[in-house]
A and B are shown apart, each in its own frame.
Chain A
């Protein structure tokens, strides 16, 4: 049935258009360590974020035993933090979700398989992130269930560069 639906509708986000902003940037050099807020991140094509635990060759993240080419940078929606507060009464800060880039106005779940610009860098979304029990242990907050299906996006870096807070995020259709 899904096969018969005009592929054009799957492109609706592109046609409707969206444009978002980079609101927060974070990294941590090793598993479990608090994420640190940064003014800018250096993205290296095909590798990851300079100084981050999942940078290829560094491999000091909780999931580094399962290397994943498509997890060079991770994104999270600011809107999810707002929704957690509104719907579940849980206050979660942008440093607590453990993704690198918190964006606003970017429909992350629609972007799997697509390319988009994050500031001057070009990313390809590989898959939705899934929540992990381990985050409840780190934050002490019961966020596993509320984060199912909105736990962010894993991406590969096609074109590297510097991403700064306030940069624009837009479709690369």
Chain B
């Protein structure tokens, strides 16, 4: 029995394959090869690495291939350490916890044509999408892959390049292609998407600024901050019995912040109805969002799974 709730999907590293200079493809699977939670083409997952880092990678396999999560990782020697840990420390059979897949592209029913622009290793989400579109028999798509010289994931891309689905642009030979001419005309039935280094996604964003938002998708290497309630503010939890202070980020639940701070609070529903996570409060302005406490109880207690704070500091009886 673990003392903490299980918050990640348990996977094992079922395959590691070299896929170009400094790139490895990792295949993650359930220990019993059970189906994994479903995902959209080009979705991403967080990997909880053995060294404690959490890193996000796009899936490059397609949704129908549902017993594996396949990611491609480029070793960044000066990165923050996630890719180095994967390249240098992780081996076949290692256990890695991953999040539920998020994001991805939904091939809309009214979209007839897809144009993808990828820079280098930014090709991964579109590899997933291209495989998906081929599988469902959607013929009209093209992926422009901009690389300096070497094509990443060459073995995976070869059949698509041969079929004319992937067009490789080598900047070492021809200079940087003009994104606008690659993308072509605006059309309500066209979906354009870009994933690559910041300079490229910024240029793409500027170029498609006048397009309807529904027809443009941009995927950045550095994940954008999660969508949070614009009115949400960070605050500090002060634990009266231990004197500990815990920061609650804007939009984060008190419960998540307490867990991060190593404090276990019993929970069950995590939605403010069961009463399991009741905690006393001493000072501050709690915002109650539960459906279990009476007005009288709210004067002394709150439910940490849903409550917020209207002041910078909230003192809890913990």
Contact = CB atoms under 8 A, between A and B. Distances in A.
Interface of A: 28-34, 36, 59-67, 130-134, 137-138, 144, 148
A34 B37 contact: yes
Interface residues of B, number: 26
Contacts of B31: 30
Contact of A33 (B4, B30, B269, B274): B30
Given A33-B30, A138-B100, A133 B5 contact: no
Interface in B228-279: 266, 268-271, 273-274
Contact of B35 (A33, A64, A131): A33
Interface of chain A, helix or strand or loop or mixed? loop
A74 B273 CA distance: 20
A64 B270 contact: no
A31 to B, nearest CB: 4
A64 B34 contact: no
Contact of A30 (B4, B34, B268, B270): B34
A126 to B, nearest CB: 14
A115 to B, nearest CB: 25
Interface string B1-27: 111111011100000000000000000
Contacts of A134: 270
A116 to B, nearest CB: 25
B1 A148 contact: no
Contacts of B36: 33-34
29 contacts: A29-B30, A30-B6, A30-B10, A30-B30, A31-B6, A31-B9, A32-B6, A32-B9, A32-B37, A33-B30, A34-B34, A34-B36, A62-B6, A64-B1, A65-B1, A65-B4, A65-B5, A65-B6, A66-B266, A130-B274, A131-B269, A131-B273, A132-B269, A132-B271, A133-B270, A137-B100, A138-B100, A144-B269, A148-B273
Nearest to B271: A133
Interface string B35-52: 111100000000000000
Given A29-B32, A33-B30, A130-B273, A63 B10 contact: no
A132 B35 CA distance: 22
B302 to A, nearest CB: 17
A98 B211 CA distance: 41
- 8 nearest CB pairs, A to B: A133-B270, A133-B271, A31-B6, A32-B9, A34-B35, A59-B1, A130-B274, A144-B271
Contact of A63 (B5, B32, B37): B5
A62 B37 contact: no
A64 to B, nearest CB: 6
Contacts of B270: 132-134
